[in-house]
Structure 1
Amino acid sequence: MSDNTTTSNTNTGSDADTDASTDARERDIRTDGTGIVAPDDETPAWSERKNRSTGLSRLTYEYFERARREDQDLRQESDYVERDVLAFPTWPHEIIRNLAIASFFTGMILFLSATLPPHIGSPANPSSTPAIILPDWYLYWSFGLLKLGPLNPELAILGGEKLMSDRTYGVLANVVVVGVVAIVPFLNKGSARRPVEQPFWAAVGVGGVIFAFTISVYSAKNLIPMNVHLLFDLTFILPVVAGFVTWAVLKTMREGYSYDLNRRYYRLRPPK
């Protein structure tokens, strides 16, 4: 009987010590920038702790962990049923994140400029016109729209003549494309922040990006080792196919994504 009593007292004492140590760790974990940032459900290895101890890596790690804990704590304390709109102060959260991203891209630009310097060709000859004239790469899409002569209809009522010249037709195509790009933000007035929440507009965006690429390739058709008619067809077929595939994939992902989103933000019970 005494042995059982002693064992139970020992277990009770060990449980109390465990609870006390747990409470002490929870008191040390704070989100005001002065405490210890807790790891994400796992104990970091020695090398990870060493990498996080100094420099930008530690600041970045603390920023993401502290932001995650602040978001989690605020959502647990909130009484709202709908999704809460939370934000973080500029310093240190936004500043550290922006510095990390800017430093990464600056380093990549310096690395590429040092390892792959641009080739300087021979000077241009002002007395001869080059065989192929192309604008800067970021204007290839506009230059490709100027070459849409095959789409310029020939009207039988005019005796097979075209209503406008191919050059005018290309300029009109530029106006139409730029107008569509400018009006899309006014048509899509939803509050979605992720493509899976609005598959249609995500498909429109993917199709537009693919079309910008294909029409840019078509603008340099003289340099592409492919049949011109096939290249012309792919210029308009690939954006439609890419947009449809994007819509179909996001549509199938939407149900599971909505459930995960609702379970996180609205605290719904999982379906039985």
Structure 2
Amino acid sequence: MTDNETKTDGSGEAQTDGGGTGIVPPDDETPTWSERKQRTQGLSRLTYEYFERARREDQDLRQESSYVERDVLAFPVWPHEMIRNLSLTSFFVGMIIFLSATLPPHLGPPADPSSTPAVILPDWYLYWSFGLLKLGPLNPELAILGGDKLMTDRMYGVVANVIVVGFIAIVPFLNKGSARRPVEQPFWAAVGMAGFAFAWTISALSIKNLIPIDSHLLFDLTFLVPIIVGTITYAVLKSMQEGYMFDLNRRYYRLRPPK
């Protein structure tokens, strides 16, 4: 039998006999770090061993009991977790380098401090906040004040920012469930998707001068699109609670201990 061949034990399960390239061996036959370092495969081999052993141990734990504590599934930080994180990091860094090399950003002319641009906008990641400042049409005119507004449109936009940020901050305290997948709590998943869609639509409203859509239609879509997205999300996830997908998720989350 050569080094690259595998053998079976009494249970019929395949094992490696030393430095083979077959299925990852059990714990008592796992090579040390120095032995792994001597192999020519390097990072690719270690990555394969991590995922293969994780799959095997996870499968064994599922078959042995109805539930297991999550910390039982932990692996040593070195080399297992470090190898996995290094693989994922290398992938995303490579994608960033590839995109920066193939699609370099366009650099416009340098800023002229002596002239004011026609359109003044904040950085793109603040468009949503800038859009909330343009909710003047929603600022009610109170008859008790003779048709005047309770606050100016600018102050109304500031209050809208406080309300939106406050709602985002309080959501974790409102939803204290143990669900880890959207299908387990469709309502909160729909709220999240509606909020995500609202961030896009309110950002589009902030640059309405640059979008070839009627401003009144864009204002209406700002609030209609999130409602539609949230409704569709809720309906889809609710339908997934019956059938194969929900059963699969429920079996997966047997890993969580019961309350």
For 2:46, the aligned partner's letter is: L
CA deviation string 1:91-147 (max 9, x = no partner):
233212211111111111111222222222222222221111111111111011111
- Asked if 1 retains the 8 angstrom alpha-carbon contact of 2:193 and 2:229, the reply is yes
Partners of 2:83 and 2:189 in 1: how far apart? 30
In the superposition, the TM-score normalised over structure 1's length comes to 0.77
Aligned partner of 2:25 in structure 1 is: 30
Q: Would you say 1:210 and 2:197 are equivalent positions?
A: yes
For 2:90, the aligned partner's letter is: S
- Asked if 1 retains the 8 angstrom alpha-carbon contact of 2:201 and 2:221, the reply is yes
The answer for unaligned runs of 5 or more in structure 2 is 1-6, 17-23, 32-39, 255-259
- Asked if 2 retains the 8 angstrom alpha-carbon contact of 1:88 and 1:94, the reply is no
- Asked if 1 retains the 8 angstrom alpha-carbon contact of 2:8 and 2:15, the reply is no
- Asked if 2 retains the 8 angstrom alpha-carbon contact of 1:83 and 1:265, the reply is no
For 1:196, the aligned partner's letter is: V
Q: Would you say 1:236 and 2:223 are equivalent positions?
A: yes
Partners of 2:28 and 2:202 in 1: how far apart? 51
Aligned partner of 1:41 in structure 2 is: none
Partners of 2:220 and 2:61 in 1: how far apart? 54
Name the SS of the counterpart of 1:255 in structure 2.
coil
- Asked if 1 retains the 8 angstrom alpha-carbon contact of 2:135 and 2:153, the reply is yes
Partners of 2:29 and 2:202 in 1: how far apart? 54
Q: Would you say 1:62 and 2:49 are equivalent positions?
A: yes
Q: Would you say 1:248 and 2:235 are equivalent positions?
A: yes
Aligned partner of 1:260 in structure 2 is: 248
CA deviation string 1:211-237 (max 9, x = no partner):
111111111100000000110111111
Aligned partner of 1:159 in structure 2 is: 146
Give runs of ≥4 in structure 1 deviating > 6 Å.
Answer: 19-22
CA deviation string 1:9-43 (max 9, x = no partner):
xxxxxxxxxx968856534353439559xxxxxxx
Q: Would you say 1:184 and 2:183 are equivalent positions?
A: no
- Asked if 2 retains the 8 angstrom alpha-carbon contact of 1:199 and 1:251, the reply is yes
Relative distance call for 1:260 and 1:25 in structure 2 (3 A) is closer
**In the TM superposition, what are the counterparts of 1:69-148 in structure 2 within 5 Å?**
69-78=56-65, 81-82=66-67, 84-85=69-70, 86-89=72-75, 90-148=77-135
CA deviation string 1:48-90 (max 9, x = no partner):
xxxxx83544333322221010111123233xx3454232222
In the superposition, the TM-score normalised over structure 2's length comes to 0.80
Q: How many matched pairs?
A: 230
Partners of 2:46 and 2:58 in 1: how far apart? 18
Q: Among all aligned residue pairs of Structure 1 and Structure 2, give the percentage whose two residues are the same amino acid.
A: 67
- Asked if 1 retains the 8 angstrom alpha-carbon contact of 2:8 and 2:14, the reply is no
The answer for unaligned runs of 5 or more in structure 1 is 1-18, 37-52, 267-272
Aligned partner of 1:40 in structure 2 is: none
Partners of 2:150 and 2:250 in 1: how far apart? 56
Higher-RCO chain (CA-CA 8 Å, sequence separation at least 6) = 2
For 2:248, the aligned partner's letter is: D
For 2:74, the aligned partner's letter is: F
Aligned partner of 1:13 in structure 2 is: none
For 2:247, the aligned partner's letter is: Y
Partners of 1:138 and 1:24 in 2: how far apart? 58
For 1:259, the aligned partner's letter is: D
Relative distance call for 1:179 and 1:31 in structure 2 (3 A) is farther
Relative distance call for 1:31 and 1:228 in structure 2 (3 A) is farther
Aligned partner of 2:188 in structure 1 is: 201
